[in-house]
């Protein structure tokens, strides 16, 4: 066999195709039995015509016996009838051949056609996340934190923004608008399309991808996870969700809600995975009054107990993270002013990330242009080392060690129970910040760090 990259799933279809060909005539309505009379008109039989070749007609008698007769030995009416029945048989064979061809084309296609058309994502549907439930206005701190916990575990990170005081939300909206106003639209949208194309090539070429000798070693669960992640990229980085122009027409909160619609099912599935999920570590909160009208919340994990505490301040009927109710808004306002003074088209992702995405774009374009499985595999062989290098670089990045466990918007909280235990520092060497409360994302000239509002 010349093609050494035979898809085993294609081979698995061969018995079905063979059965379909052999039994095809039985699957379609049989040609009705006819009266056949010899040339002399002295003998007539009732039989079903099965075929005709070399001037002879094959008939199946009522008792099941098959006989072959010379067409010229039949009367004129029977000869005309034979020609008509033969045309019907040929039409049935053409239809059967067309169906078999469609089966073969589907089996050799880069991806299942029914899969590509079944869902918007183009991969097996991810179970829906629970419906988003906003934390009621005026909730006390205990209920607010419980609501945040429940919605995060349900996959809805937008709750982190939605529960902020209105003045802080407006500060985030202003910063977001300033970032978009200074965005390098052409570059950022090109990078967005590259990330979407990564998902496209995985989903739309999945049969070719998983028939590659290296990737064929992946089990069904691993393949499903890869397809799920690819489907996420296709939708998350679509023009409607993440293009600069689309986001310019929305507030930051509206953009988060749009992102939440896409992200929630995947995050919910991940957090509730029975093997790797963390939903079993559902935290509880112990709330007590602090100094100057502030509130202190201790985060308590099952079995482990309290792990850290966070100060909250009442503001506008909601709860601001940290000792000060104004420090976050003031910081965001300063960042907004800095962005407004930056040159146009200066907000972009880091140059190093752009360089890596350029490599990925080139590889994806080559893969998408492949016309056959063999060509796709050849390009993939050339691409895999580069992809592995990029993945290693990205996954090998480590954040600087945290100086204690800082709260999202203010002073560090006090830690109880484990600060003196061996390994505690390593266990807690992670930021306790609300997503995006520290600068990350787009960088602009003149800013000491990259700035991004909180979000998924």
* CATH classification of the domain holding 14: 2.30.30.700
Instruction: Please check whether residues 234 and 365 belong to one and the same domain.
Output: yes
The percent helix, strand, coil of the chain (3-state, each to 5) is 50, 15, 35
214 part of a folded domain:
yes
Instruction: Please check whether residues 285 and 371 belong to one and the same domain.
Output: yes
- Which range of 13-22, 23-32, 80-89, 135-144 scores highest in mean pLDDT? It is 135-144
Instruction: Please check whether residues 100 and 165 belong to one and the same domain.
Output: no
452 part of a folded domain:
no
Q: Is residue 122's pLDDT more than 70?
A: no
453 part of a folded domain:
no
295 part of a folded domain:
yes
Instruction: Please check whether residues 27 and 174 belong to one and the same domain.
Output: no
Instruction: Please check whether residues 79 and 149 belong to one and the same domain.
Output: no
128 part of a folded domain:
no
119 part of a folded domain:
no
325 part of a folded domain:
yes
Pairing of strands 318-321, 56-61: unpaired
398 part of a folded domain:
yes
**pLDDT-wise least confident of 118-122, 167-171, 188-192:** 118-122
Mean pLDDT of the chain: 77
Q: Kindly report the pTM of this predicted structure.
A: 0.62
What SS3 state is found at 53? strand
Phi-psi region of 316 (alpha: psi -120 to 50; beta: other; left: phi over 0): left
Number of other residues whose CB lies within 10 A of the CB of residue 38: 15
Q: Which of 52, 87, 108 finishes a domain?
A: 108
For residue range 354-399, list pLDDT tens digits in order: 888 888 888 888 898 888 889 999 999 988 888 777 767 665 544 4
For residue range 156-172, list pLDDT tens digits in order: 999 999 999 999 999 99
Specify the number of domains making up the chain.
2
Instruction: Please check whether residues 289 and 201 belong to one and the same domain.
Output: yes
Instruction: Please check whether residues 153 and 286 belong to one and the same domain.
Output: yes
Residue 56 structural domain: 8-108
Q: Which of 57, 90, 108 finishes a domain?
A: 108
- Nearest partner of 452 among 318, 256, 287, judged by Cα: 256
């Amino acid at each position: 066999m010349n093609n050494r990259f035979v898809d085993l799933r294609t081979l698995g279809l061969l018995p079905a195709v063979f059965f379909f060909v052999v039994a095809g005539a039985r699957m379609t309505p049989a040609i009705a039995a006819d009266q056949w009379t010899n040339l002399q008109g002295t003998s007539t039989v009732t039989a079903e015509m099965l075929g005709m070749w070399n001037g002879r007609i094959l008939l199946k008698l009522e008792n099941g016996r098959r006989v072959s007769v010379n067409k010229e030995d039949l009367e004129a009416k029977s000869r005309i009838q034979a020609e008509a029945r033969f045309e019907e048989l040929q039409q049935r064979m053409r239809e059967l051949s067309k169906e078999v061809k469609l089966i073969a084309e589907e089996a050799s296609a880069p991806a299942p056609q029914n899969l590509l058309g079944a869902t918007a994502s183009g991969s097996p549907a991810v179970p829906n996340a629970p419906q988003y439930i906003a934390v009621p206005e005026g909730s006390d701190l205990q209920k607010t934190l419980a609501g945040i916990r429940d919605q995060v575990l349900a996959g809805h990170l937008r709750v982190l923004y939605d529960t902020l005081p209105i003045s802080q939300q407006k500060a985030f909206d202003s910063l977001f608008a300033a970032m978009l106003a200074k965005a390098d639209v052409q570059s950022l949208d090109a990078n967005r399309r590259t990330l979407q194309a990564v998902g496209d090539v995985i989903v739309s070429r999945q049969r070719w991808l998983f028939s590659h000798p290296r990737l064929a070693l992946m089990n069904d669960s691993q393949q499903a996870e890869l397809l799920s992640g690819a489907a996420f990229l296709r939708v998350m980085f679509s023009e409607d969700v993440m293009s600069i122009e689309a986001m310019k027409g929305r507030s930051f909160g509206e953009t988060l809600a749009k992102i939440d619609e896409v992200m929630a099912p995947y995050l919910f599935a991940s957090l509730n995975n029975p093997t790797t999920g963390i939903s079993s570590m559902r935290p509880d909160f112990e709330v007590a009054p602090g100094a100057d009208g502030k509130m202190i919340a201790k985060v308590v994990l099952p079995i482990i107990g309290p792990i850290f505490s966070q100060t909250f301040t009442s503001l506008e009927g909601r709860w601001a993270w940290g000792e000060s109710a104004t420090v976050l808004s003031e910081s965001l306002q300063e960042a907004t002013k800095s962005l407004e003074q930056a040159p146009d088209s200066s907000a972009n992702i880091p140059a190093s990330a752009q360089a890596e995405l350029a490599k990925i774009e080139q590889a994806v374009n080559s893969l998408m242009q492949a016309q056959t499985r063999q060509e796709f595999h050849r390009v993939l062989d050339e691409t895999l080392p580069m992809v592995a290098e990029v993945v290693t670089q990205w996954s090998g990045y480590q954040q600087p060690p945290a100086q204690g466990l800082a709260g999202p918007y203010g002073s560090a909280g006090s830690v109880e129970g484990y600060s003196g235990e061996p390994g505690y520092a390593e266990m807690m060497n992670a930021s306790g910040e609300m997503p995006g409360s520290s600068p990350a994302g787009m960088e602009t000239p003149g800013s000491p760090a990259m700035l991004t509002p909180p979000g998924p």
